[in-house]
Amino acid sequence: MIRTQVEIDPVIGLAGFNAVRRLQADYAWALDLKICVFPQEGLLNYPGTEELLHAALA
Protein backbone atom coordinates (compact mmCIF):
# COMPACT_ATOMS: atom_id res chain seq x y z
CA MET A 1 0.00 0.00 0.00
CA ILE A 2 1.11 3.54 -0.77
CA ARG A 3 -0.31 6.60 0.97
CA THR A 4 0.02 9.98 -0.68
CA GLN A 5 -1.01 13.46 0.35
CA VAL A 6 -2.76 15.83 -2.02
CA GLU A 7 -3.12 19.53 -1.34
CA ILE A 8 -6.43 21.26 -1.97
CA ASP A 9 -7.23 24.96 -1.83
CA PRO A 10 -9.38 27.42 -3.79
CA VAL A 11 -6.47 28.33 -6.11
CA ILE A 12 -5.51 24.77 -7.04
CA GLY A 13 -8.99 23.37 -6.56
CA LEU A 14 -9.16 19.62 -7.08
CA ALA A 15 -6.65 19.49 -9.97
CA GLY A 16 -4.02 17.52 -8.04
CA PHE A 17 -6.63 15.31 -6.43
CA ASN A 18 -8.18 14.45 -9.79
CA ALA A 19 -4.77 13.65 -11.28
CA VAL A 20 -3.92 11.29 -8.42
CA ARG A 21 -7.37 9.65 -8.71
CA ARG A 22 -6.60 8.93 -12.39
CA LEU A 23 -3.27 7.36 -11.38
CA GLN A 24 -5.06 5.37 -8.69
CA ALA A 25 -7.46 3.96 -11.29
CA ASP A 26 -4.75 3.33 -13.91
CA TYR A 27 -2.50 1.40 -11.51
CA ALA A 28 -5.13 -0.33 -9.39
CA TRP A 29 -3.93 -3.61 -10.85
CA ALA A 30 -0.49 -3.09 -9.28
CA LEU A 31 -0.94 -1.19 -6.04
CA ASP A 32 -3.31 -0.01 -3.35
CA LEU A 33 -3.08 3.78 -3.29
CA LYS A 34 -4.60 5.69 -0.38
CA ILE A 35 -5.17 9.41 -0.86
CA CYS A 36 -5.05 11.86 2.03
CA VAL A 37 -6.36 15.31 1.12
CA PHE A 38 -5.34 18.30 3.19
CA PRO A 39 -5.76 22.06 3.06
CA GLN A 40 -2.16 23.28 3.21
CA GLU A 41 -3.20 26.89 3.74
CA GLY A 42 -5.70 26.01 6.46
CA LEU A 43 -9.31 24.94 6.47
CA LEU A 44 -10.80 28.30 7.38
CA ASN A 45 -8.27 30.75 5.90
CA TYR A 46 -9.76 30.86 2.40
CA PRO A 47 -13.45 30.70 1.50
CA GLY A 48 -14.26 27.58 -0.48
CA THR A 49 -11.65 25.31 1.09
CA GLU A 50 -14.15 23.45 3.26
CA GLU A 51 -16.36 22.74 0.23
CA LEU A 52 -13.37 21.37 -1.68
CA LEU A 53 -12.53 19.10 1.22
CA HIS A 54 -16.09 17.77 1.29
CA ALA A 55 -16.00 17.18 -2.48
CA ALA A 56 -12.71 15.29 -2.29
CA LEU A 57 -13.92 13.15 0.60
CA ALA A 58 -17.10 12.26 -1.26
The domain limits of the chain are: 2-57
Give the predicted TM-score (pTM) of the model: 0.83
Higher pLDDT: 12 or 33? It is 33
Higher pLDDT: 23 or 46? It is 23
Instruction: Tell me what pLDDT residue 40 has.
Output: 82
Could you give the angle at the alpha carbon of 1 between the alpha carbons of 19 and 20, nearest 5°?
5
Sequence-ordered strand ranges (E) for 1-58: 2-7, 33-38
Distance of alpha carbon 5 from the chain centroid? 7
Distance CA 41, CA 38 (A): 9
Confidence check: pLDDT of 41 > 90 = no
Q: Which residues pair with 9 in a beta bridge?
A: 13
Give the CA count within 13 Å in the CB-facing half-sphere of 46: 14
